[in-house]
Chains A and B, each alone.
Chain A
Amino acid sequence: MKKSIYLLLFAYFVLVLGIFAWGVSDLYLVIGLMLSPPGALGLFYLFRSSPFTSSKKLEGWGAQRYAERIFENSSNLLFVVDQGGNILRRNKTSRDRLGREERDNLNIAEIVHPDYMDTVKEELANMFKMGQFRDVKVRLMAEEDEGKKVLPAQMRGVAVTDYAGVLEFTDQEEKYRLKRRLRESSARYRCLIEDAIDTLDSGVVLIDKNDQIVWVNETMEDFFEIDREHLIGLDANRALRSYVESFKEPESFLEMAESAYRDNSHVSNYTCYIEDGRGVEQRVLEYRSIPVETDRYQGGRIEHYIDISEVKRLERNLREKTKRLEKSNEKLEEFSRSISHDLKAPLQTIEGYSQVIEEDYQQKLDEEGKKRIQALGKTSQRLRQRIEGLLTYSSIEVEGGSFRPLDLGRIINEMRDDLDYVLEDVDFRLPEEFPAVYGHETLIIELLSNLITNAVKYNDKEDPMIEFGWERRGEDYLLWVEDNGQGIKEQYLKKIFEVFEKLNPRENPEGTGIGLALCKRIVEEHGGRIWAESELGEGTTFYFTLPGKEKELAISEKKDMDLESAKSKKKEPVSNR
């Protein structure tokens, strides 16, 4: 009989220690097993006959060694005590934690805080009566170098025999410290988060599953001039009614919000216009109401009122500006249409009549007359083309397909024929080869003819000279028109590119003052730049760059001319007669 009990016990310990050996590092489990009734039974047999003095019976048992090790190495404080509270044995942890010298006659009363002594005595008596007790909070007194220290612990015990039992104390100090820290940090976070939410630009409302308002942030008070203390605890539907009167359309808002409460549905963005008492809009809010789907407030809602007044204001401004721009564009288009008609029509008449005269009065005109009539026709034709070009220019879209590779040689030669009357008696020097620039033909012609005409117009020399030159600059070209004219004072070199800027209006009354401004714009429209260098009395050189191939053309940032805004839409200039 005895043998079989030992066998059973052995099997039990093999099981326990097997678990232990597997790496179950949680000693609680092992201790728990030991403290559970069969474990207690085991201990009972282990300690049955004063196990600390004569445990010879068990000496051969590896099991006892393991039990010793479990006892010694437990991270809890373990004591074997008798009914009088005398400590028969204690483990390493208890020695480490409480730090008292090893004595045979140490009593539990010496290590328990006096305030808890009654509890411990009571539980001890209980233990011997009932066999065990569980989880009682006590405090132990530790002796450290610096003096005595209170150690919070959780105590449980199990009676092993009628006169001995095991008391186990779980150190609670770390747990308490963690708890305290957790409490502190959660209080801190709560404070920070509440403060953060209070200072948000959005109003926030938290509603629980019973439709009661749990929390309202400070922003809500500002938005609706309400006291949040009054709102908290209020039914959400009632709360809504208390501030909805400042809404522009309170009824439709209420209907929407209440149906969302009822159906537990999302409201992702509902624009509310908040007005003061006189119907003046104060702010525009975007209302969002989202059902809470997890945790404590599941079934409740979080609501946001996001201030979008500024966005709305900007939107409105933008709309107005766009409208104004569209209007001014329309006007400009109308303007260019009327220019197209009003300027082109008389020119066509001049052109037509010069042709008629040339044809019908061939016999009556001498060579000079014929030549002049031809010049008249050509000039008006050129002027008409220029107007057409400008009108096209004013209505082009920069991205438009009008930009293509241009043979500058062809353009300049054609232009030379056209400018024959201008270039008479001028030493016009051209290079042997010409580059192929990437550009808008009408604009490039306008640019070059402006520069060349200027070079002649402002030339006071007896043998006027104009030289056109170029060189490659990476993918672009640097081009120039040089003259030996009167030159420009340095301080005017920038000014001449401004609209209607004429340096000597009396000397050159026929100038429009728009030529160089136009040149600048044309060059900039091609992504290039233009500048002049000059020596007074010696001559001026206008330099400009043009692209050699297609690239992203930057729209000139300087809005030099009003024409700029007219180019948004491409529309054929129309004229009716």
Chain B
Amino acid sequence: MGKNKNNKLKILLVEDDEYDVDITQRAIKKSDIDSKLYVVRDGEEALDFLYREEGFEDAPRPDLIFLDLNLPKIGGHQVLEKIKVDDQLKHIPVIVLTVSEREEDMVKAYDSGASSYIHKPVNPDEFGKVIRTVQEYWKMAELPPR
């Protein structure tokens, strides 16, 4: 992965479900976000990626994180908490993407410092819409300087 081409938005997707990864990739590809998507499959990998450990020594610092909540090994909530208490990482916006409809999951995610909480739509087209909305939002909001 090493060095990135200039202005591409580096997105880290933390997601264990093959289909969701695929659909997210597709939706991002279909949108005109100039981005590079990095995918990790569980919470442990996500933290390794962020701390650049255990085979992720060359991982870049992502500009945006899509985080699933229900993850193997280390859960999404825990990953989010770790990110938000780490001075090096806490500025990275985290968008929680999940199928969970439990209110407490949402409240907990926002409490831990999630920038946004989005229900993962079932329909791929709906998914595209979500990504476009996120894109609109990030176009307007200035991302923290890299």
Contact = CB atoms under 8 A, between A and B. Distances in A.
11 contacts: A352-B19, A355-B124, A355-B125, A359-B124, A360-B26, A574-B102, A576-B70, A576-B98, A576-B105, A577-B16, A577-B98
B143 interface: no
A351 B123 CA distance: 8
Contacts of B125: 355, 359
A577 B68 contact: yes
Contacts of A348: 19, 122
A349 B69 CA distance: 18
Given A345-B17, A353-B19, A575-B100, 5 more contacts: A348-B122, A352-B19, A355-B125, A356-B124, A577-B17
Contacts of A345: 17
Contacts of B23: 352, 356
Nearest to A347: B122
Contact of B26 (A349, A356, A576): A356
Q: Which 6 A-B pairs give the minimum distances between C-beta atoms?
A: A576-B70, A349-B19, A348-B122, A352-B124, A576-B100, A577-B99
Given A355-B125, A356-B124, A572 B101 contact: yes
Contact of A351 (B16, B100, B120, B122): B122
B17 A352 contact: no
Contacts of A360: 26
Which of under 10, 10 to 19, 20 to 34, or 35 or more describes the interface residues of B?
20 to 34
Query: Which applies to chain B's interface (DSSP): helix, strand, loop or mixed?
Result: loop
A355 B17 contact: no
A352 B99 contact: no
B73 to A, nearest CB: 15
B81 interface: no
A572 B120 CA distance: 17
Interface of A: 345, 348-349, 351-353, 355-356, 359-360, 572, 574-577
Query: Which applies to chain A's interface (DSSP): helix, strand, loop or mixed?
Result: helix
A345 B98 CA distance: 13
Contacts of B48: none
B99 A576 contact: yes
Interface string B111-129: 0000000001011110000
A575 B101 CA distance: 8
Nearest to B105: A576
Contacts of A355: 123-125
Contact of B70 (A349, A351, A577): A577
Contacts of B68: 577
Contacts of B69: 576
A421 to B, nearest CB: 22
B104 to A, nearest CB: 10
A577 to B, nearest CB: 5
A351 B125 CA distance: 12
